Amino acid sequence: MKSSILRAGVVALACALGLSACGGGSGDLYLTGAVYNVTKDGLVLTNNGEDLAVTTPYTSFQFSNRISTDDQFDIKVKSVPSNVASVDDCKVNNGKARANYYTIAQINVTCTIRKRALTASINNLTGSGLVLINGSDKQTVPAGTKTWPMAPVNEDGAYGVTVLTQPTGQTCTVSGGSSGNGAGIMGAVETTTVTVTCA
Amino acid sequence: MKFSLARPALACAVLATLAACGGGGKATFPINVTVAGLQYPGLVLSTNGQDLAVNPPAKAGDDVTATFPNEIEYGQTYEVVPKGAVVTNHVAVGGSQPKHQQCSATPFPAYGTAGQLAKISIRFACAIQTYPLGGKVVGLTGTGLVLANGSTTGTISVPPALDANQKPTGADVTLTMNQVPYNTTYGVTVLTQPTGQTCTVAGGANGTGGGTMDDAAEAATPQGVSNLVVTCK
C-alpha cells in the first residue's frame, strides 16, 4: 500500500520535472540576474565552466547555457573592471543554489567602485563662510584654509566642484580638474586637485 | 510508538486551534505596522475607521513599530493606507504622508483578511522626496555638451536643437538634470564643452547653478528648481 503511493508520487514528480524540462537546449531555465555599480567592460562571471562577460549597459547578465530544474549553479566572479580594486569587491548574491523558478530570480551582482581622493587647493581665503559643493557633497571651509578634502569620488566618475556660498567680502572661483573649470572625470591616479582662488 | 504519541498530540493541537476560533466569541487580530526609513513627522495611517499617527524613531535609521488601537475580528478585511489617500486597485495615492517623504507598502501588500495569516504585520518604507532640477540651454550650436551635478547621479548630454536639414539652430533646449532629494545640495557644472563653444552655468538658488533643494524649492510651482540657464557662446 505504502509503496504504491510512493511509486505514484515518484512517477507524478518525474512527469512534472519532465514537462518542465522541455524547451530545447540542455534545460529551460536561463540563468540571469541584475548587475549594480558596473560602469565599464571587464566584469566576467563564471558558472560551471561557462564564462560570461557583462557588457553595456552593465545592468544585467544572462548565461547562454540554459539549465534544468534542480541543476546546481554556482556563479563566481572571474575578473572585474579596472575601476574595481579586486574580485572580492564584486559580490554575487544568491549565486549558489539548485535551479528552480524561485532561485534563478534572486541573483544579483553588486560591485563597489574604487574611490579616489578629491582635494581642493585654496588660495587667499580670508573671509569666513565659504561653502564648496560637489553635487550633494557639501563642505564648509574655514578662513585661512590651504587645502580641503572633498568626499572621495568613484574612479571614472564625474566630479564638479562649485561654490555654493561665497565667503564674506570675497569672491572665489574654481579652476583645475580635467575640464579646467573644477569639473572632470576622476582618473586612476590617487588624487585629483581642483583650485579655488579667492579675491 | 513515536508516531502513536505524536498523532494524538497533533489532534489535540488542532482541537485547541479550533476552539480558539469557535468557542467564546471570535478571535481578534491586532494590526501591527512597521515603518522603515521614516525621518519626518506627519505620517498618519488608517484602516477600518481607525487612525494611527506614526512618528520618526528616537534614533535615526531605526524602524518604527506601532499597532492600531483596536483589534479586528476574524474574517474582517483591512487595508492600511495613508489617511485620506485615494485607493485604486489597492494602490494608494496621496494621503497623510510625512513631510518631505513618500511612504508606501512594501514588499508585501497592506490589505487582506484577518485570519488569512497568523499575524497581521504591515510594512511601509519611506523615501525622501526628490524634485526636478532643470531649466534651459541657450545658444547651443556645437555638439558634445555634457553637464554634471558634481559626482551625484550621473551626467547629462545635451545635443543642440536641429532644423529640418539637421543643422543646429541655436534655439533654446530644455535642460533636465536628474532629480535631487530634499535637503540635498546641487551644483551644475560643464563637464565637457561643446565643439567650438564655451558654456557657462547660471541660475539655481545662488545664481551660479548651485543651491539646496530646500523648503522654498519644495513650495515652488512647479516644484523643484527650474531656473537653470546654461549659456553657450
* Tens digits of residue pLDDT in B109-137: 899 999 988 999 999 999 999 999 999 99
Segment B157-210, tens digit of pLDDT: 999 999 999 999 999 999 999 999 999 999 999 999 999 999 999 999 999 999
Closest B-chain CA to A137: B185
Taking the Cβ of residue A119 and every Cβ of chain B, the question of whether any pair is shorter than 8 Å is answered with: no
Evaluate if residue B8 carries a pLDDT over 60: no
pLDDT for B152 equals 87
Domain coordinates of chain A in residue numbers?
24-111, 115-198
A115-198: in CATH 2.60.40: yes
φ, ψ (nearest 5 deg) of residue A61: -135, 155
Kindly state the DSSP code that residue B3 receives in the 8-state scheme. H
pLDDT for A72 equals 92
Taking the C-alpha atoms of residue B33 and residue B104, their distance in angstroms, rounded to an integer, is 12
Taking the C-alpha atoms of residue B86 and residue B231, their distance in angstroms, rounded to an integer, is 43
Task: Classify each residue of B174-184 as buried b or exposed e, where b means 16 or more C-beta atoms within 10 Å of its C-beta.
Answer: ebebbebbbbb
Residues of A in contact with B187 (CB under 8 A): 133-135, 160-162, 164
Distances (CA, A) of A175 to A172, A184, B54, B200: 10, 11, 48, 13
Closest A-chain CA to B206: A164
Residues of A in contact with B154 (CB under 8 A): 158
What does the pLDDT average to over B99-112?
92
- ipTM of the complex as predicted: 0.74
H/E stretch holding B16 reads: helix B2-22
pLDDT for B164 equals 92
Closest approach of chain B CAs to the CA of A11, in angstroms?
27
Segment B88-97, tens digit of pLDDT: 999 999 999 9
pLDDT for A14 equals 44
Residues of B in contact with A135 (CB under 8 A): 148-153, 185-187
pLDDT for A131 equals 97
Taking the C-alpha atoms of residue A182 and residue A37, their distance in angstroms, rounded to an integer, is 25
pLDDT for B25 equals 66
pLDDT for B1 equals 44
pLDDT for B19 equals 45
Taking the Cβ of residue A29 and every Cβ of chain B, the question of whether any pair is shorter than 8 Å is answered with: no
Closest approach of chain A CAs to the CA of B170, in angstroms?
23
Taking the Cβ of residue A187 and every Cβ of chain B, the question of whether any pair is shorter than 8 Å is answered with: no
Contact (CB<8Å) B149/A162: no
What does the pLDDT average to over B99-103?
95
Residues of chain A with pLDDT under 50: 1-2, 6, 8-25
pLDDT for B167 equals 93
Residues of B in contact with A162 (CB under 8 A): 150, 187-189, 208-210
Task: Classify each residue of B128-162 as buried b or exposed e, where b means 16 or more C-beta atoms within 10 Å of its C-beta.
Answer: bbbbbbbbbbbbbbbeebbbbbbbbbebbebebee
Evaluate if residue B4 carries a pLDDT over 80: no
pLDDT for B7 equals 52
Taking the C-alpha atoms of residue A7 and residue B52, their distance in angstroms, rounded to an integer, is 55
pLDDT for B12 equals 41
pLDDT for B201 equals 96
Taking the Cβ of residue B133 and every Cβ of chain A, the question of whether any pair is shorter than 8 Å is answered with: no
Q: How far is CA A162 from the centre of its chain?
A: 26
φ, ψ (nearest 5 deg) of residue B38: -75, 130
Domain coordinates of chain B in residue numbers?
26-128, 130-232
Residue B197 CB contacts under 8 Å (≥ 6 apart), including other chains: B139, B140, B141, B142, B145, B232, B233
Closest B-chain CA to A157: B151
The answer to whether the Cα torsion of B83, B219, A131, A169 is positive or negative is negative
Name residue B1's amino acid. Answer: M
Segment B28-86, tens digit of pLDDT: 999 999 999 999 999 999 999 999 999 999 999 999 999 999 999 999 999 999 999 99
For residues B63 and B32, the answer to whether their CB atoms sit within 8 Å is: no
Closest A-chain CA to B155: A158
**Of B35, B39, B27, B127, residue with least CA distance to B80:** B35
| 3 state DSSP class of B58 | coil
